[in-house]
């Protein structure tokens, strides 16, 4: 069942990350695609550091820039783990990490830092990297040129989404590792699971799911009507919300 509160979502995300780590996943994404969630990134990151307490100084928490890192240091006070930023043109990310680091928690990286994010993952080697609330969706979906395709094939495809929650009007896209990707719809205050997919449902595939068209019917060019009466009238608003 999908979480009913942010606290519940964070607890479930921790469980999913632990399951992914136990299964050998090394590049893990926790994506809470909730409006203005980035404003709470620092507080959420602190909650995640608790689950890595056994790593001690081997845990390194990284923020996209020096300002965010400095603010976290100020608010958190003395910590056993290390806190820094992803670096800059003058101080690259390889100068921001150490051989003694055992696991990395990267907080709220955006598409602007994508090169540094990829470099960090490469430098980490077999040490786990958790991307917490990344703002990389535009990188994954925008761009049809050679460079964009190469980035998706070379790097983005190596990331394992351990936890994903994206509410939209009347429904939610959800994933909690190791479960499949799910699409839930709300009707009369109750949630119904309408689809499970091996890949993140998006674009035409998500539209077919919301229209109630199966994969087989889609391949046959079906014009099946939506499963839910009156649902078609809400599709435009739903897709608008999904694209924000």
**C-alpha to C-alpha distance for 101 and 52, rounded to whole angstroms:** 12
- Residue 159 sits in the same domain as residue 177: no
Q: Is residue 1 part of a domain?
A: no
- Count how many residues are written for the chain: 244
Kindly state the greatest CA–CA separation across the chain: 61
What is the number of structural domains in the chain? Answer: 2
Q: Along the 244 residues of the chain, how does pLDDT read in single tens digits?
A: 889 899 999 999 999 999 999 999 999 999 999 988 999 999 999 999 999 999 999 999 999 999 999 999 999 999 999 999 999 888 999 999 999 999 999 999 988 888 899 999 999 999 999 999 998 765 555 554 556 667 767 888 899 999 999 998 889 999 999 999 999 998 888 899 999 999 999 888 888 898 876 555 445 444 434 444 333 334 444 444 444 4
Question: Residue 197 contacts by C-beta under 8 Å, 6 or more apart in sequence?
Answer: 180, 181, 182, 183, 205, 209
What is the distance of C-alpha 73 from the center of its chain?
24
What's the token pair of residue 63? Answer: 């923020």
Kindly report whether the peptide bond that precedes residue 220 is cis, defined as omega within 30 degrees of 0. Answer: no
**Residue that terminates a domain, selected from 111, 132, 165:** 165
The residue out of 139, 165, 191 marking a domain boundary is: 165
- Final residue of a domain: which of 165, 190, 219? 165
Q: Which domain holds residue 184?
A: 169-242
Rounded Cα gap, residues 104 and 112, in angstroms: 19
């Amino acid at each position: 069942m999908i979480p009913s509160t942010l606290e519940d979502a964070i607890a479930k995300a921790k469980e999913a990350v632990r399951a992914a780590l136990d299964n050998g996943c090394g590049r893990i994404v926790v994506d809470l695609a909730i409006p203005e969630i980035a404003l709470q990134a620092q507080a959420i990151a602190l909650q995640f550091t608790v689950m890595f307490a056994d790593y001690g100084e081997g845990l390194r928490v990284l923020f996209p820039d020096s300002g965010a890192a400095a603010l976290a240091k100020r608010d958190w006070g003395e910590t056993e783990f290390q806190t820094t930023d992803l670096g800059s043109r003058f101080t690259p990310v390889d100068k921001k990490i150490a051989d003694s680091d055992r696991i990395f928690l990267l907080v709220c990286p955006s598409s602007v830092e994508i090169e540094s994010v990829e470099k960090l993952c490469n430098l980490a080697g077999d040490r786990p990297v958790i991307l917490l609330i990344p703002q990389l969706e535009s990188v994954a979906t925008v761009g049809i040129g050679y460079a964009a395709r190469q980035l998706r094939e070379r790097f983005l495809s190596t990331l394992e989404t351990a936890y994903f929650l994206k509410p939209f009007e009347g429904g939610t896209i959800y994933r909690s590792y190791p479960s499949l990707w799910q699409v839930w719809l709300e009707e009369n205050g109750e949630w119904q699971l309408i689809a499970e997919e091996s890949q993140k449902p998006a674009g035409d595939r998500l539209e077919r799911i919301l229209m109630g068209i199966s994969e087989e019917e889609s391949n046959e060019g079906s014009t099946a009507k939506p499963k839910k009466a009156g649902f078609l009238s809400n599709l435009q608003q739903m897709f608008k919300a999904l694209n924000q």
